Structure 1
Amino acid sequence: MAENLKGCWVPCKWPWAALQQLCRDQRLWCRALGVSRRSHGRFEVEYLCDYRRVRDEEFYLVKWCGYPSSSNTWEPRKNLHCRGLLKQLHQDLERVPGGPARPGPRGLPARATSYLVQKAKQRQALRRWERLLNNTRSHRGRIMVENEVDLHGPPSDFVYINEYKVGAGVNLVPVAVGCECGDCLANAVGGCCPGASSNKFAYNEAGQVCIRAGLPIYECNSRCRCGADCPNRVVQKGIRYDLCIFRTGDGRGWGVRTLQRIRKNSFVMEYVGEIITSEEAERRGQVYDRQGATYLFDLDYVEDVYTVDAAHYGNISHFVNHSCDPNLQVYNVFIESLDERLPRIALFATRPIRAGEELTFDYNMRVDPVDAESTRMDSNFALSGAPHSSPRARRRIECKCGAAVCRKFLF
């Protein structure tokens, strides 16, 4: 754990504060615990957990970084040089359950101090999760996490992955051939990879999708002559926009918003999870129905044989919410496997998306049958922890998207 803790060990069930104190006592430093080389010679404010006014002077109860709560001290405002934490405390005081809290000579009400500590610990947990997500991602786009709505922390049973996780009974057959193009967009040999499957080239020179929803996308693969900069390699380059996982304030759980402007028809993200058989999906669906949420996506481009389950293994798409007027559209994509029963699921922008706008797609999407494609969401998708159930439960699910064209029910 500690960077210079060689050949040593500590009991794994020790409290966080005890581990911090051990590091300080032994003159060790550990980034994960917040005990740094600098903190040995100076005191750092971890968070503020109480506030009082005595006459005209303000005092704050300080939790010191690397020290247990028993070492907390009251400090006058002039001793603190943490403008951001001071501002955060006063913002939190306006959101205390039961109404804004005001300080007295002895401090804040117990409900307020409890809330301040919970919020501080929640933010620490979310920052640790944010670092984990960014250390795990293989794509260019960064991930931020924000919750200014309630006290929910990171999901406890979710593992971030970048590629499909293949489950039992699923066999991915790798592609056997690739294209011989020198320039796949300007001088495609035999129609490049799309032409080999009697399909159209999916992208324009700006990397935007230019075929209608429902038609498949065939990208170049590892056996192709072209390189990584090929214009027919869009989805496989991964997420390139900075995105934020945020807590919604209207009962829809977590959501995702973009931190950058996204052009119409641009690739945004891939829906990633564990590939399982339809039989296993049926079994899990019954379990998820009882739990009140599920993340099953049928891969029924030609046959309803396989399903993607993103309940426990997935990427940022796990948190994308539904809308009856979405700004994302689903496309089936084939790259390293041409098995039409196992497409990759890509989400493209249906219109220009502003920075700060929430990303959504229609969980109950249907496309024109003449397109020979009926990809659809087979579940309540991203209302993490919300009391909803999948269509297998034969119950109508209220829609909370708020769109002007809202259908009022998801299924």
Structure 2
Amino acid sequence: CSVGAKYSLNQLGNMCRVAKLCCHDLGITKKNMCIFEVDYLCNYKKIDDKEYYLVKWKGYPKSENTWEPRRNLRCAATLKQFHRDLEGELFRRSRRRPRVWPPRHLDAAILSFLEQKGEQRKALRRWEKELNLARAHKGSIAVENEVDLFWPPEDFTYINEYRVTEGITLDQVTTGCRCKNCLESPVNGCCPGTNLNRFAYNIQGQVRLEAGQPIYECNSHCLCDMQCANRVVQRGTYYNLCIFRTDNGRGWGVRTQEKIRCHTFVMEYVGEIITSEEAERRGRVYDRQGITYLFDLDYVEDVYTVDAAHFGNISHFINHSCCPNLQVYNVFVDNLDQRLPRIAFFATRTIRAGEELTFDYNMQVDLVHMESMRMDSNFGLAGLIGSPKKRVRIACKCGAEFCRKYLF
């Protein structure tokens, strides 16, 4: 149960500072009573070799902005970011560095950009906080946009597992393995063996199956705990990742903030599970909007589709590449309906820190007695995609050496 509050904790803290009141619960003491938090910097001027900044204070309206000398500001990172934004925008407009740097006065267009950038960064920080509060996995999520003034996407809810729509039921398992050590001494082949399949992982948790072969992990009825060697995908994303704005018209993308080992699990693709008929209907709507996030679950039969347009996780923002560093595997844990596998991304090679994560939207993996796996999604790329039976060719912007030039 919760009720709406008239003031936020930050606003109450600022009211205490103005009134010169100490408050232990809000962390307001005599030492920090005169310290106010900078929201962002929105103007700059230089007078007699002294630098001044117009400060937007956190928790205060813009009407309370004040000019402050640099010596009063104890926010090195904010100052550095302000000058980086300023220099980048001035260079973008003139394609050369100004003769006098920093400039003594800024024109109205630059001031408008700086204010918009400040408000955008606030929105991105809020979104980043919301994403990390919503995630159920260990790996953190950062958000960056150093390219344009786009704000966080609207009408998107972060979820950690499939959202099953009305009329669809999952075939839940009723038994589990009885192994003491599922990797070293599996009983009757553990869960994979029960389903006539090989054990998927090695001791380091790296997948050792060929793409296209299913992965059967231990489930909620098994005697083993979550540290079992056969529970990799269900433990969630381990790596710290970053949603960032691409600089070549591909919208948002995802990059890793740390090294990812070859053949290790990176993330799942989650969203709403819908029928193929509903996917056809939504696909026509998405075509008119120029987007689609439909992933066909056609491991054995093309009956269901995952739609991550409005409900999804960080995989919603992964871009296409004709030479990807991620590969899709079909995974089964508590649900054994082969029409409804979990979709897991594994690294195809070692991925360096700072490298963008990609997979092939038009991948096809064909093995004996197995249906092909296909990806039908756009992930914010420019252009329209037609219905699954008739598509408009979309130019590919992945930049790979052996790029196919078109997505489909």
Alignment TM-score, normalising by the size of structure 2 = 0.90
Q: CA deviation at 1:25?
A: 7.6
Query: Superposition RMSD on alpha carbons, in Å?
Result: 2.6
Question: Is residue 51–residue 103 contact of structure 1 (8 Å, CA) maintained in 2?
Answer: no
User: Could you tell me whether the CA contact under 8 Å between 1:169 and 1:276 is conserved in 2?
Assistant: no
2:355 aligned partner = 357
Equivalent in the alignment of 1:320 = 318
Could you tell me which residue of structure 2 aligns to residue 3 of structure 1? none
SS at match of 2:74: coil
1:344 to 331, 342, 345: 342
* Aligned 8 A contact 2:270 2:343 in 1: yes
Q: Give the whole-Å Cα distance in 2 for the aligned partners of 1:343 and 1:119.
A: 42
How many residue pairs get aligned? The number is: 395
CA pair 262-71 structure 1, distance change in 2 beyond 3 A: same
- In 2, Cα distance between the equivalents of 1:192 and 1:146? 43
* Letter paired with 2:391: R
- Higher mean C-alpha displacement, 303-312 vs 49-58: 49-58
Determine the structure 2 residue equivalent to 1:275: 273
Q: Distance in 2 between matches of 1:23 and 1:85?
A: 25
Question: After TM superposition, which residue ranges in structure 1, 4 or more long, deviate above 3 angstroms?
Answer: 6-12, 17-29, 35-41, 99-105, 390-393
Separation of aligned partners in 2, 1:8 and 1:312: 26
Gaps of 5+ in 1: 1-5
Q: How much identity, in percent, do the aligned residues show?
A: 62
State the match for 2:93 in structure 1: 98
Determine if the alignment matches structure 1 residue 52 to structure 2 residue 45: yes
Checking the alignment, whether the CA contact within 8 Å between 1:378 and 1:390 is kept in structure 2 is no
C-alpha displacement of 1:94? 1.6
- Corresponding letter in the other structure for 2:351: I
CA distance in 2, matches of 1:75, 1:370: 71
Q: Which residue of 2 aligns with 1:68?
A: 61
Identify the match of residue 402 of structure 2 among 398, 401, 405. 405
Q: Deviations over 1:173-229 (max 9, x none)?
A: 211111111111111111111111111111111111001000100001001121211
Once the 2 structures are TM-superposed, how far is the Cα of residue 387 of structure 1 from its aligned partner?
Answer: 3.0
Relative to structure 2, which stretch is displaced further, 110-119 or 92-101?
A: 92-101
**What residue is the counterpart of 1:42 in the other structure?**
35
Match of 1:199 among 176, 197, 204: 197
**Greater shift in the superposed pair: 192-201 or 91-100:** 91-100
C-alpha distance 182-390 of structure 1, shift in aligned 2 (>3 A): farther
Equivalent position amino acid for 1:78 in 2: R
Give deviations 1:286-334, integer Å, cap 9, x for gaps: 0000000100000011110000000000010001110000000000000
Alignment partner of 2:226 out of 205, 225, 228: 228
2:382 paired with 1:389? no
Taking the TM superposition and a 5 Å limit, the aligned residue runs for 1:89-168 are 89-96=82-89, 98-99=93-94, 107-168=105-166
Equivalence for 2:214? 216
Letter in 2 for 1:43: F
CA-to-partner distance for each residue in 1:28-58, whole Å, 9 max, x for gaps?
99x9xxx974676432222111111123222
The answer to which of 46-55 and 331-340 deviates more is 46-55
- Residue 294 of structure 1 corresponds to 292
Name the SS of the counterpart of 2:115 in structure 1.
Answer: helix
Contact 2:384/2:392 (8 A) holds in 1: no
Question: Does the CA contact (< 8 Å) of 1:271 and 1:318 recur in 2?
Answer: yes
Query: How far apart are the structure 2 equivalents of 1:182 and 1:388?
Result: 53
Residues 1:239 and 1:8: Cα distance change in structure 2 (over 3 Å)? closer
Please tell me whether the aligned partners of residues 24 and 66 of structure 1 are also in contact (alpha carbons under 8 angstroms): no
Contact 1:327 1:359 in 2 (8 A): yes
Counterpart-to-counterpart distance in 2, 1:199 and 1:339: 15
SS at match of 1:85: helix
SS of 1:317 mapped into structure 2: helix
Contact residue 272 and residue 306 of structure 2 kept, 8 A: yes
- Counterparts of 1:55 and 1:91, CA distance in 2: 23
Query: Amino acid of the residue matched to residue 113 of structure 1?
Result: L
Deviation per CA, 1:144-175: give whole Å up to 9, x if none.
11111111111111100001000122111211
Structure 1 segment 327-338 matched on structure 2, within 5 A: 327-338=325-336
Query: Would the alpha carbon gap of residues 23 and 124 (structure 1) be closer, same or farther in structure 2, given more than 3 Å must change?
Result: farther
Whether the aligned pair in 1 keeps the contact of 2:284 and 2:387 (CA below 8 Å) is: no
2:83 and 2:319 map into 1 onto residues whose CA distance is 31
Q: How many Å separate the matches in 1 of 2:280 and 2:3?
A: 49
* Residues 391, 95 of structure 1: alpha-carbon distance in 2 compared, 3 angstrom cutoff: farther
CA distance in 1, matches of 2:4, 2:127: 27
Deviation at 1:104, TM superposition (A): 5.7
Q: Report if the CA contact (8 A) 2:383-2:394 is conserved.
A: no
Q: CA deviation at 1:24?
A: 7.4
Aligned match of 2:74: 81
Contact 1:293 1:390 in 2 (8 A): no
The SS at the match of 1:263 is coil
- In the alignment, the residues of structure 2 paired with residue 263 and residue 407 of structure 1 have an alpha-carbon distance, to the nearest angstrom, of 27
Structure 2 unaligned regions, length at least 5: none
TM-score normalised by the chain length of structure 1 = 0.90
